[in-house]
């Protein structure tokens, strides 16, 4: 999804609305559309030593936008901006829950439903890399990336079951698996 201009405009428009409704909000968040995985959006905040908001970054999932454009504008965007407003108004207060009544009220005021989660069909982006080795007895073993690097730098492991050695010369291939 290359052209995200109209969604950038939606973000800017909602942030302008926030400035009008909440004049005490004095931080303008940055935003991007590079979030991956199953989350539709994310609000990352930084606070001063005194618990006041100093920086906020909103991230949105371009795949979620492509899956349902209306959902982005009507749910995801107000949801994440509401987190920003809560952080601006209440700082790092332990009394304010991330999806508590204050957040829900603001989310609804900004045009969202106040729902905590979505049901978009997004896949996890996390993948696990494993490394296939064959030991000195011909048995196959999957090693983690850490163990693979150690073996490649000279460490020799012994297989528990057969007591055979696993060495760098036994490397067969890299195996990439999607996270469950």
**How far is residue 125 CA from its own chain's centroid?**
10
Cα–chain center distance at 117: 14
Helices and strands: H and E segment counts in the chain: 6, 8
Please choose, from the candidates 29, 37, 34, the residue with its C-alpha nearest in 3D space to the C-alpha of residue 11: 29
Three-state DSSP class for 99? coil
Residue with tokens 């996270």: 179
* Per-residue pLDDT at 26: 85
Share of the chain above pLDDT 90, in %: 49
For 75, the 3-state DSSP assignment is helix
Q: What is the pLDDT of residue 120?
A: 65
> Whole-model pTM?
0.67
Beta bridge partners of 134: 140
Two tokens, residue 180: 């469950």
Number of Cβ within a 10 Å radius of residue 163:
10
How many other CB atoms sit within 10 Å of the CB of residue 99? Answer: 16
Q: Which residues pair with 55 in a beta bridge?
A: 46
C-alpha–C-alpha distance, residues 41 and 70, integer Å: 14
Express each pLDDT in 19-63 by its tens digit: 999 999 988 999 999 888 778 889 999 999 988 899 999 999 888
Find tokens 């073993």 and name the residue.
Answer: 141
| Residue 59 to residue 26: CA distance in whole angstroms | 20
Q: Per residue in 65-91, pLDDT tens?
A: 888 888 888 989 999 999 999 999 998
């Amino acid at each position: 999804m290359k052209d995200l201009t109209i969604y950038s405009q939606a973000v800017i428009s909602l942030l302008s609305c926030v400035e009008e409704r909440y004049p005490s909000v004095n931080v303008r968040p940055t935003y991007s559309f590079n979030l991956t995985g199953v989350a539709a959006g994310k609000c990352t905040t930084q606070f001063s030593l005194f618990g006041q908001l100093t920086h906020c970054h909103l991230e949105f999932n371009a795949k979620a936008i492509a899956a349902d454009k209306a959902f982005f504008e009507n749910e995801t965007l107000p949801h994440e901006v509401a987190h920003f407003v809560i952080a601006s108004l209440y700082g790092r207060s332990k009394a304010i829950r991330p999806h508590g009544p204050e957040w829900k009220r603001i989310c609804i005021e900004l045009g969202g439903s106040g729902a905590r989660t979505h049901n978009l069909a997004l896949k996890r982006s996390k993948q696990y890399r494993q490394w296939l080795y064959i030991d000195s007895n011909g048995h196959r073993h999957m090693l983690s990336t850490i163990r693979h690097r150690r073996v490649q730098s000279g460490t020799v492991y012994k297989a528990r079951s057969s007591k055979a050695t696993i060495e760098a010369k036994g490397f067969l291939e890299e195996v990439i698996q999607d996270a469950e």
